[in-house]
Amino acid sequence: MAFVLPDLPYAKDSFGSILSAEIFDYHHGKHHQAYVTQTNDQVGPAGLEGASLSEVIAKAKAGGNAKLFNASAQVWNHSFYWQCLSPEGQQPTGKLKDMIVRDFGSQDELLAKLKAESVGHFASGWGWLVLDGDTLKITSLHDADTPMVHDGMKPLLTLDVWEHAYYIDYRNARPNYVDALLGKAINWEFVAMNLDGKGVSRADQG
């Protein structure tokens, strides 16, 4: 079964000036779609027909198939990223809020560190909030790299900092894009759900 481009979990025009419909047209409709197509084209030749997306990613990594790893990991990373966003301007609550205060001191400190990591990440990649055991940690990964192939990185929240994620709306101003998302557009309910350690499954398919 071929992998598919997942629908966005909201209307593409629901973020106002934070993210335009045009950026979703390109980022979701063109870039994410291209990774889906590239993955489907390579799964058969790699002998991985019928494997789930997460299995393809793991086996491509283990087998040193960088081209398939990059395409398939980008399918998963983007499927996860869309779910991390919400046009509703939520705030962390409950257990997640308590863990943020425990591990970072305050929500503001978490946001400042995640912004610094994401803005400071050199070239293309992803800023991440992950769960290591019972501890929240911030990191960033290069290019298509993804938490699921690293020990101690259960995915909770990601920010796409590839230039294609913000250039249409923010030109080169990555800090403004990161500020807008962290301040107004994070789906903290989704982040809290991922504290169960099953975040990988929420962007998996096949």
Closest separation between CB of residue 32 and Fe ion, Å?
7
Tokens of 7: 């629908």
Closest separation between CB of residue 170 and Fe ion, Å?
14
Indicate the residue among 57 and 96 with the shorter CB distance to Fe ion.
Answer: 57
**If we measure between CA atoms, which residue out of 118, 164, 163, 157 comes closest to residue 141?**
118
Shortest Cβ contact with Fe ion: which residue?
A: 160
Indicate the residue among 162 and 188 with the shorter CB distance to Fe ion.
Answer: 162
Binding-site size for Fe ion (CB under 5 A) equals 3
The stretch among 14-22, 37-45, 106-114, 155-163 that binds Fe ion (CB under 5 A) is 155-163
Tokens of 158: 């990601």
Indicate the residue among 33 and 176 with the shorter CB distance to Fe ion.
Answer: 33
Closest separation between CB of residue 78 and Fe ion, Å?
6
Closest separation between CB of residue 24 and Fe ion, Å?
11
The stretch among 12-20, 134-142, 157-165, 183-191 that binds Fe ion (CB under 5 A) is 157-165
The stretch among 110-118, 140-148, 156-164, 198-206 that binds Fe ion (CB under 5 A) is 156-164
Q: Which amino acid is at 183?
A: G
Indicate the residue among 31 and 113 with the shorter CB distance to Fe ion.
Answer: 31
Residue 145 contacts Fe ion per CB under 5 A: no
Chain centroid to Cα 83, Å, comes to 8
Query: What are the φ/ψ torsions at residue 169 (nearest 5 degrees)?
Result: -95, -30
Indicate the residue among 23 and 165 with the shorter CB distance to Fe ion.
Answer: 165
Sites for Fe ion among residues 158-187 (CB under 5 A): 160, 162, 165
β-sheet bridge partners, residue 106? none
Residues that bind Fe ion (CB under 5 A): 160, 162, 165
